[in-house]
Amino acid sequence: MSASAATATDRPEVRLIEIGPEEAGQRIDNFLLRVCKGVPKSHVYQVLRSGQVRVNKGRIAQTYRLIEGDTVRIPPMRMAEPAARTAPAAEFPVLFEDEAMLIINKPAGVAVHGGSGVSHGVIEQLRAARPELRFLELVHRLDRETSGVLMLAKKRSALTALHEQIRLGQLDKRYLTLVKGDWQHRRQHIKLPLFKYTTPEGERRVRVQADGQPSHTVFNLLRKYGEYVLLEAELKTGRTHQIRVHLASSGFPIVGDDKYGDFALNRDLQKRDRQRLAFRRMFLHAYRLRLTHPLTGKPIDIEATLPTQCVDFLQSLEPKAVTATESAIDLSR
């Protein structure tokens, strides 16, 4: 019986799961937490410490790493009732896919995973659409309102290798963003420490704070559209809300940012004004990702074209300044 085939039942029974290549290398406690969804974490660790979980009929420590071919015995544990609503299956525009990776163009307004009031996201929808995949995990994340390149791993070995590239700063991640104001420099480094906190309402936020995590973004000026400036952001570190907070703290909040933005400006932009179109999203798009393939070692360069809504808005700011075709050429350099 495979890990992916294991399901909860009304009458708990002993389960024997044979470990395949995608589960190999995972710690037994993390494996149990994944396959025993709905069981309290404390109970999972209790049965593990008590020796009720066996690997190849023997007791193991909670730090044991699984090996392909291992047989894991999981004792009867009553699962939570399945949720009444399951994630609807959905596919997204594919930018690259092979046996190791799936790279998609995520639309704005779609969360990458469920939680914090969101019932489901990209990962749950893709798993529902592709039940034949035994392994599918997010390599990194994008904010819900950010569009663009999102990478998923289809093998644990690929996930581990890609996380190592992220840790070593070997991924080149570029974003396009629009701000309003008198931006002066062709290339500007912003290094501000970022601190994560939770509001009294339970919302996750980030602020600049001396004891925060070191954070570094490089901004390249691409083009001015009257009072607005199109920037390319190079992530040198990958902190939560990094681009958004670095820009807002520097006096250039992202157009349409509902957390750190200029709220009066955002309200005005939601209504059309003469030739300028209405704009109702955050102007932040992950448009380029350069990496080394986790299995072959070959370089890969992935691009996601700036969404039509963003291109049309830029055109309306400065008619005849840029066409959709010219935008795709200029902004991919």
Contact 70, 56 (CB under 8 A): yes
User: Could you give the residue ranges of the DSSP H alpha helices within the chain?
Assistant: 28-35, 41-49, 122-129, 156-167, 242-249, 263-269, 308-317, 324-330
The one catalytic residue in 29, 70, 143, 262 is: 143
Nearest alpha carbon to residue 215 among 237, 183, 241: 237
Tokens of 235: 């992530």
DSSP string, 50-92: TT-SEETTEE--TTPBP-TT-EEEE---PPPPPPSS-PPP---
Which residues are within 8 A (CB) of 42 and not within 5 positions of it... i.e. 6 or more apart? none
- Specify whether 257 is catalytic: no
Neighbours of 264 (CB within 10 A): 8
List active site positions.
Answer: 143
